[in-house]
Amino acid sequence: MNSLGVFTSGGDSPGMNAAIRAVVRSGLRNNMKIFGIRHGYEGMIDGDIFEMNGCDVANIISRGGTILRTARSKRFMTKQGREKAYENLNKYGIEGIIGIGGDGTFHGLKDMINETSFKTIGLPGTIDNDLFGTEATIGYDTACNTAMEAIDKIKDTASSHERIFLVEVMGRHAGFIGLETGIATGAEDVLIPETPTDFKALVKVLEKRIREGKKSAIVVVAEGDEMGGAFDAEREIKKLSNLKTRVTILGHIQRGGSPTMRDRVLATRLGYHAVEALLEGKSGVMVGICKGSVVFIPIEDTFNKKKIVEQDEIKMMPFLL
């Protein structure tokens, strides 16, 4: 293989730049031409493609976001859009593709596998940590630390004003961020999509804490909880009690910022092995981590199979309240 293209797609995550850097440097070391594709599948369709060198990735390992930018593409979901993208890739002589992103990115890679001869590798870049086949995704550790630091600060205000704060974290379909930040911050409860929410029981716990002398509390709410987000949870609590509550939505702050050491190392490791995998003739797989070792998972498994939150952590929660 003499040339490859790399792109980022969907929601950005801290560590994407570290992964891009690893792909570019590893490719150059193997005497390959490396092409960056800006704005994900949209840039592929528009021909926003350029050749990269070592200087393009200098000093980006510590930067959040993605230097290649990102986008979601409805056009790539159409046959016409994909054919235009393939035409542009062929124009630059690109033989292999490395896509960094989440579920939507991998669906696009699967179409490419089915319709073309391009060798394709996926890297798990999403803060939600919800891709099957890897214990950690690029950006997850940073997002958890960002949420934890924010909640620690919110606890100061909650204590000063003697209020209950419902803090909403990201996690539309999975509660990984919510569960682990809830444990790390000593939250009174964590509401996540994977477990049913019993508001009567929650109110009972909060009122018990107040009777025992505690004046403030934190409840972490994943945005995808089956009962709704933090504002929905607040309405349910107000129906059942006179507790003083406030809502804070952390939102996109969780996607930004300098990646942690763990995310930088993970992204670098996965990026390096993605290039090695292409050189070995692998295709149609995601590079992941399992029990500390690099693994290769069929692309379709990453979205057809469900990754579940750690059951041991769910069992722990009631005993920590």
Q: Is residue 225 part of a domain?
A: yes
pLDDT tens per residue, range 96-111: 999 999 999 999 999 9
Q: Are residues 245 and 160 in the same domain?
A: yes
Both tokens of residue 208? 């018990």
pLDDT tens per residue, range 188-216: 999 999 998 889 999 998 999 889 888 89
Q: Nearest-CA neighbor of 20 among 86, 100, 80, 84?
A: 100
Q: Are residues 145 and 135 in the same domain?
A: no
- The dihedral of CA 271, 113, 110, 251: what is its sign? positive
Percent of the chain with pLDDT over 70: 99
Q: Are residues 129 and 147 in the same domain?
A: no
Percent of the chain with pLDDT over 90: 87
Q: Which amino acid is at 151?
A: I
Average pLDDT in the 264-273 region?
98
Q: Are residues 249 and 269 in the same domain?
A: no
Both tokens of residue 319? 């005993």
Q: Are residues 201 and 118 in the same domain?
A: no
Q: Is residue 83 part of a domain?
A: yes
Q: Which domain holds residue 199?
A: 140-255
Q: Are residues 124 and 267 in the same domain?
A: yes
For the cut 80, the answer to whether the pLDDT of residue 317 exceeds it is: no
CATH of the domain at 242: 3.40.50.460
Q: Is residue 126 part of a domain?
A: yes
Is 286 in contact with 302 (CB distance < 8 Å)? yes
pTM: 0.94
Please tell me the distance from the alpha carbon of residue 294 to that of residue 287, in angstroms, as a whole number: 7
Q: Is residue 317 part of a domain?
A: no
User: pLDDT category, 318, cuts 50, 70, 90?
Assistant: low
- Total domains in the fold of the chain: 2
Q: Is residue 165 part of a domain?
A: yes
Q: Helix, strand, coil proportions of the chain in percent (round to 5)? A: 45, 20, 35
pLDDT tens per residue, range 134-156: 999 999 999 999 999 999 999 99
Q: Are residues 228 and 273 in the same domain?
A: no
Q: Is residue 313 part of a domain?
A: no
Is 127 in contact with 140 (CB distance < 8 Å)? yes
71-to-10, 109, 183, 246 alpha-carbon distances in Å: 5, 15, 33, 33
Q: Are residues 242 and 274 in the same domain?
A: no
Active-site positions read 128
Q: Are residues 91 and 148 in the same domain?
A: no
Angle between helices 140-161 and 176-185 in degrees, nearest 10: 50
Please tell me the distance from the alpha carbon of residue 42 to that of residue 84, in angstroms, as a whole number: 10
Q: Are residues 152 and 247 in the same domain?
A: yes
Q: Is residue 309 part of a domain?
A: no
Q: Is residue 321 part of a domain?
A: no
For the cut 80, the answer to whether the pLDDT of residue 320 exceeds it is: no
Q: Are residues 201 and 275 in the same domain?
A: no
Q: Nearest-CA neighbor of 223 among 172, 281, 292?
A: 172
Q: Are residues 190 and 47 in the same domain?
A: no
CATH of the domain at 299: 3.40.50.450
For the cut 80, the answer to whether the pLDDT of residue 321 exceeds it is: no
